[in-house]
Amino acid sequence: MSDVVLDVRNMSVVLGPHFAVKDVSYQIRAGEILGVVGESGCGKSLTSLAIMGLLDKQLALSGEILFAGENLVGMSEKRYQHIRGEGVGMIFQEPMTALNPVVTVGEQVAEMFLVHEGVSKAEAMNRAIEMLRQVHIPYPEKRAKAFPHELSGGMRQRVMIAIALACKPKVLIADEPTTALDVTVQAQVLDLLEELRETTGTAIQFISHSLGVVSQISDRVMVMYAGQVVEIADVNDIFDNPQHPYTQALLDTIPRVGADIKRLPAIPGSVPPLDKRGENYTFRDRCPELFDHYVQLAQQRNGQIAGGY
Q: Does 205 bind Mg ion (CB under 5 A)?
A: no
- Which of ligand ATP, Mg ion, none does 43 bind, CB closer than 5 to 8 A by kind? ligand ATP
Residue (99 or 173) nearer to ligand ATP, CB: 173
Q: Left, alpha or beta for 199 (phi > 0: left; psi -120 to 50: alpha)?
A: alpha
Enumerate residues 6+ apart whose C-beta is below 8 A from 255: 212, 263
Minimum Å gap between C-beta 188 and Mg ion is: 22
Stretch that binds ligand ATP, among 38-46, 153-161, 215-223, 284-292 (CB under 6 A): 38-46
Residue (166 or 181) nearer to ligand ATP, CB: 181
Residue (20 or 217) nearer to ligand ATP, CB: 20
* Beta strands 203-208 and 171-175, pairing class: parallel
Stretch that binds Mg ion, among 41-49, 138-146, 186-194, 288-296 (CB under 5 A): 41-49
Q: Does 45 bind Mg ion (CB under 5 A)?
A: yes
- H-helix or E-strand spanning residue 193: helix 183-200
Site string for ligand ATP, 51-70 (x = CB under 6 A): -----x--x-----------
- Which of Mg ion, ligand ATP, none does 42 bind, CB closer than 5 to 8 A by kind? ligand ATP
Minimum Å gap between C-beta 112 and ligand ATP is: 25
Exposed/middle/buried for residue 125 (C-beta within 10 Å: 0-12, 13-18, 19+): buried
| Residue selected from 161, 171, 274, 298 as contacting ligand ATP according to rule CB under 6 A | 274
Stretch that binds ligand ATP, among 33-41, 99-107, 195-203, 300-308 (CB under 6 A): 33-41
Do residues 219 and 28 lie in contact, with contact meaning Cβ atoms separated by under 8 Å?
A: no
What's the first-to-final CA gap in the chain, in angstroms?
Answer: 27
56 vs 21, 59, 60, 95, 224, CA distance in Å? Answer: 14, 6, 9, 20, 21
Count the helix, strand and coil residues of the chain and give each as a percent rounded to the nearest 5: 40, 20, 35
> Coil, strand, or helix at residue 35?
strand
Do residues 132 and 162 lie in contact, with contact meaning Cβ atoms separated by under 8 Å?
A: yes
| Residue selected from 28, 42, 230, 238 as contacting ligand ATP according to rule CB under 6 A | 42
Give the number of other CB atoms < 10 A from CB of residue 17. Answer: 8
| Residue selected from 74, 201, 269, 273 as contacting ligand ATP according to rule CB under 6 A | 273
- What residues make contact with Mg ion under the rule CB under 5 A? 44-45
- What residues make contact with ligand ATP under the rule CB under 6 A? 15, 20, 38, 40-46, 56, 59, 209, 273-274
